[in-house]
Amino acid sequence: MKHVIMCGGSGSRFWPLSTSKMPKQFLKLIGNKSLLRLTVDRLLNISSIENIFLVTSKKYEDLIKSEIPEISEENILYEPSARNTTAAIYYALKTIKSKNNSSVVGVYPADHYIKSEQDFVASVKEAHDLVTKYKERVYTLGIKPNYPSTSYGYIQCDADNENSYKVAQFCEKPDLNTAKKMIELGSYVWNSGMFFFDIQTMLNEINLFVPEMEPLFGGVDIEDFNQIENIWNQIPKISIDYAVMEKTQKAFCIKLDCGWTDLGTWVSLYDLLDKDKDGNVFNGNVFSHKASNNLAIAKNSNIGIVGLDNIAVVEYDNQILVINLSDSESVRKIINQLSDSDK
């Protein structure tokens, strides 16, 4: 089995800690390992490093080699620019297929926290076995929800089918009332963004739903970065969810309960970390009075919080973010207002 980790994103919602020079996947948000290192280590429980591939930006070359020094250069695929997940996955599959014509492939984001690695490994092995048996199916891991989250997309599952479920539909991030109804119905799971498939099946589905891809890659030497660069900006900029998973009739879901968190926002990090008696999570020189349920990270300065609830204050490298934790998704709205020198 081949494993593809997508690790080229900028992680803008974790500004100011995450920047274009040091994006989220290289940060040590949980313990003393970066999110990328944690992702690779999870897969090393079931795979050799030779079967792990990274898709990332050329500007992160030094960071990759520092974090994952044992990976071969030929297993690091550099994207000329960010073109979303369909481009990243297609590039990886074409590379793998050029080396091994028949493979089961798993695709993973690099920014997940998983508490029970044992349950995760068991589900990946199950996915491998199911794809081997049903080559025309595309499987995804659906996380059993334990609260009505408005930060995750959802998957509606149909009838049980040999330890997996036919996917009825993929759903956008809902509002709170809709999320509550989804939880009550019991047929919805969180979309983890992890996918498993026979390599030719996914290539066929992408070719079907994004017909521009195959001709672009047709005459390209996949190992020549300059040739990839020549076609890259012509590739449609679209996620694999929109391009394929929401349209295909081949989607199946394996339900998983493993203490999973998509570390995409400050509130997701707050939810994960241990809190004091007032529900606060403080890191660095933080002082508070009559404050509860807050997240504060001070890297270089002192932070004082008085009489506030449900806010985050993050100070790093002369940058300060102050947000309502409930509106963590909106951090990206201010990124466009920052000049390149401020990032």
pLDDT digits (tens, 9 = 90+) for 162-178: 668 999 999 888 888 99
Mean pLDDT, rounded, for 35-60: 96
Specify the 3-state DSSP secondary structure of 134.
coil
167 vs 86: CA distance, rounded Å: 20
Q: How many domains does the chain have?
A: 2
Asked if residue 88 lies in contact with residue 110, where contact means CB atoms within 8 angstroms, the answer is no
Cβ count near 284 (within 10 Å): 15
Q: What is the β-pairing status of strands 104-109 and 188-198?
A: antiparallel
Amino acid 81 reads S
pLDDT digits (tens, 9 = 90+) for 288-342: 999 999 999 999 999 999 999 999 999 998 899 999 998 888 888 887 777 554 5
Q: What is the pTM of this model?
A: 0.91
Q: What is the β-pairing status of strands 104-109 and 164-171?
A: unpaired
216, 324: one domain = no
For residue 251, what are the β-bridge partners? Answer: 138
165, 308: one domain = no
212, 283: one domain = no
Does residue 109 have a cis bond before it (omega within 30 degrees)? Answer: no
For residue 196, what are the β-bridge partners? Answer: 106, 139
Indicate if the pLDDT at residue 95 is higher than 80.
yes
130, 196: one domain = yes
197, 315: one domain = no
23, 150: one domain = yes
Amino acid 158 reads D
The HSE-up count of residue 147 (CA atoms within 13 Å, CB side) is 8
2 vs 103: CA distance, rounded Å: 7
Asked if residue 253 lies in contact with residue 140, where contact means CB atoms within 8 angstroms, the answer is yes
Q: Which of 62, 94, 72 is nearest to 221 (CA)?
A: 94
Specify the 3-state DSSP secondary structure of 211.
coil
Mean pLDDT, rounded, for 274-289: 96
Phi then psi for residue 108, to 5 deg, are -140, 135
248, 271: one domain = no
CATH classification at residue 95? 3.90.550.10
Indicate if the pLDDT at residue 254 is higher than 60.
yes
177, 294: one domain = no
Choose the final residue of a domain: 233, 264, 295.
264
157 vs 329: CA distance, rounded Å: 26
256, 291: one domain = no
88 vs 54: CA distance, rounded Å: 10
Amino acid 341 reads S
For residue 156, what are the β-bridge partners? Answer: 169, 188
CA angle (26, 29, 30) in 5-degree steps? 115
Does residue 16 have a cis bond before it (omega within 30 degrees)? Answer: yes
Q: What is the β-pairing status of strands 281-283 and 295-298?
A: parallel
Choose the final residue of a domain: 235, 264, 293.
264
In which domain, by residue range, is 329 found? Answer: 267-342
61 vs 76: CA distance, rounded Å: 9
198, 328: one domain = no
pLDDT digits (tens, 9 = 90+) for 50-83: 999 999 999 999 999 999 999 999 999 999 999 9
74, 92: one domain = yes
pLDDT digits (tens, 9 = 90+) for 181-226: 999 888 899 999 999 999 999 999 999 999 999 999 988 899 899 9
> Roughly what angle, to the nearest 10 degrees, separates helices 84-99 and 199-209?
140
Choose the final residue of a domain: 244, 264, 284.
264
306, 255: one domain = no
